[in-house]
Amino acid sequence: MTIYGTALLSICLLFGLSVGRILGAVIGVDANVGGVGIAMLLLILVCDRLQQSGRMQPPTTQGIAYWSSIYIPVVVAMAASQNVVAAIKGGPVAIVAGVMVVIVSFAMVPIISRLGQSDAPPPNSHTLPTKDES
């Protein structure tokens, strides 16, 4: 079952790494800039679209779940191989970029959490009558 999600994951990874390479070239850095993160976001978006349209079969979903469970250790290993000391010595841009990403990420949490909410109660929710309704 794990093979079904591999094609989708690999396409997203190749696209993300390519975009990360291009971003690195644009800003003048000889490195991949955010390619793995771009790939992860693309995978989330594509999977969501496929699930909403009903085109993702259960074996594919299970395959993607398997690969996503080992995806985080792979990302950690890739990040550990980066030369953080050289980036910090290279100038304050790396520190400012890191701080800005964290600030923007924290600011986006409430916004993203509101996107999934609706004012209507869930379909099978049973609410207790209020004092005025009794």
Which pLDDT score, from 0 to 100, does residue 104 have?
94
Domain that holds residue 38: 1-82
Residue 67 forms part of a structural domain:
yes
Which pLDDT score, from 0 to 100, does residue 15 have?
93
Identify whether residues 8 and 26 lie together within a single domain.
yes
Instruction: Give residue 67's pLDDT band: very low, low, confident or very high (50, 70, 90).
Output: confident
Residue 5 forms part of a structural domain:
yes
Burial class of residue 23 in the structure, from the number of CB atoms within 10 Å of its CB (0-12 exposed, 13-18 middle, 19+ buried): middle
Residue 12 forms part of a structural domain:
yes
Residue 55 forms part of a structural domain:
yes
Which pLDDT score, from 0 to 100, does residue 22 have?
93
Contact 59, 1 (CB under 8 A): yes
Residues in the chain: 134
- Residue 30 gets which letter from DSSP? S
Query: Does the global pTM surpass 0.75?
Result: no
Query: Between the CA of residue 109 and those of 1, 11, 102, 113, what are the distances in Å?
Result: 33, 27, 11, 6
Identify whether residues 69 and 93 lie together within a single domain.
no
Identify whether residues 73 and 51 lie together within a single domain.
yes
Judge whether residue 14 has pLDDT over 70. Answer: yes
pLDDT digits over 81-127, tens only? Answer: 666 666 667 677 777 888 898 999 999 988 888 886 765 555 565 55
pLDDT digits over 22-52, tens only? Answer: 998 898 888 888 888 888 889 888 888 888 8
